[in-house]
Amino acid sequence: MVKLKDKQFVPFLSEEEILGAIKKMAAEIAEDYKDKVPIFVGVLNGAFMFTSDFLKNYPYPCEVSFVKLSSYSGLTSTGIVETLLDVPENISGRSVIILEDIIDTGRTLQKLVHLFSNTNVKDFKIASLFYKSELYNGEYTIDYFGMEIPDKFIVGYGLDYKEMGRNLRAVYQLNQNRMINIVLFGKPGAGKGTQAAFLKEKYNLKHISTGDVFRYNIKNETKLGKLAQSYMDKGDLVPDEVTIKMLQDEVDNNPDASGFIFDGFPRTAAQAEALDNFLGSKDMQIDATIALEANNEVLIARLLERGKVSGRSDDQDETKIRNRFDEYNQKTAPLRTYYESQGKLHVVDGIGEIHEITERLTQLIDKLQTVNK
What residues act catalytically? 192, 267, 306, 312, 324
Under the criterion CB under 6 A, does residue 217 sit at the interface with ligand AMP?
Answer: no
Under the criterion CB under 6 A, does residue 246 sit at the interface with ligand AMP?
Answer: no
Q: Which of 47, 67, 238, 257 binds ligand AMP (CB under 6 A)?
A: 238
Provide the minimum distance between the beta carbon of 267 and ligand AMP in the complex, in angstroms, as a whole number: 4
> Is residue 92 a contact partner of residue 121, using CB atoms and an 8 Å limit?
yes
Q: Which of 146, 191, 264, 350 binds ligand AMP (CB under 6 A)?
A: 264
Under the criterion CB under 6 A, does residue 186 sit at the interface with ligand AMP?
Answer: no
CA quadruple 234, 313, 185, 263: dihedral sign? positive
* Greatest C-alpha distance within the chain: 93
Under the criterion CB under 6 A, does residue 131 sit at the interface with ligand AMP?
Answer: no
84 CB contacts (<8 Å, ≥6 apart)? 44, 68, 69, 70
d(CA 279, CA 277): 6
Whole-angstrom CA distances from 161 to 47, 51, 134, 362 are 14, 20, 21, 32
Under the criterion CB under 6 A, does residue 210 sit at the interface with ligand AMP?
Answer: yes
CA quadruple 55, 58, 63, 66: dihedral sign? negative
Q: Is the peptide bond before 204 cis (omega within 30 degrees of 0)?
A: no
Under the criterion CB under 6 A, does residue 188 sit at the interface with ligand AMP?
Answer: yes
Under the criterion CB under 6 A, does residue 214 sit at the interface with ligand AMP?
Answer: yes
Q: Which of 271, 274, 307, 361 binds ligand AMP (CB under 6 A)?
A: 271
Q: Which of 235, 259, 307, 350 binds ligand AMP (CB under 6 A)?
A: 235
d(CA 317, CA 304): 8
Provide the minimum distance between the beta carbon of 346 and ligand AMP in the complex, in angstroms, as a whole number: 20
Provide the minimum distance between the beta carbon of 341 and ligand AMP in the complex, in angstroms, as a whole number: 21
Provide the minimum distance between the beta carbon of 326 and ligand AMP in the complex, in angstroms, as a whole number: 11
Provide the minimum distance between the beta carbon of 265 and ligand AMP in the complex, in angstroms, as a whole number: 4
| Segment near ligand AMP (CB under 6 A); pick from 154-162, 218-226, 230-238, 280-288 | 230-238
Interface positions, 309-328, toward ligand AMP (CB under 6 A): 324
Under the criterion CB under 6 A, does residue 195 sit at the interface with ligand AMP?
Answer: no
Nearer to ligand AMP, 144 or 265 (CB): 265
Nearer to ligand AMP, 243 or 258 (CB): 243
Instruction: Give the CA angle between residues 352, 286, 358 to the nearest 5°.
Output: 20
H/E stretch holding 127: strand 123-131
Under the criterion CB under 6 A, does residue 132 sit at the interface with ligand AMP?
Answer: no
Nearer to ligand AMP, 236 or 317 (CB): 236
> Is residue 155 a contact partner of residue 9, using CB atoms and an 8 Å limit?
yes
Whole-angstrom CA distances from 124 to 27, 106, 142, 182 are 18, 16, 11, 56
> Is residue 292 a contact partner of residue 192, using CB atoms and an 8 Å limit?
yes
Please tell me whether residue 148 adopts helix, strand or coil conformation: strand
| Segment near ligand AMP (CB under 6 A); pick from 34-42, 163-171, 235-243, 286-294 | 235-243
Residues that bind ligand AMP (CB under 6 A): 188, 210-211, 214, 231-232, 235-238, 243, 264-265, 267, 271, 324
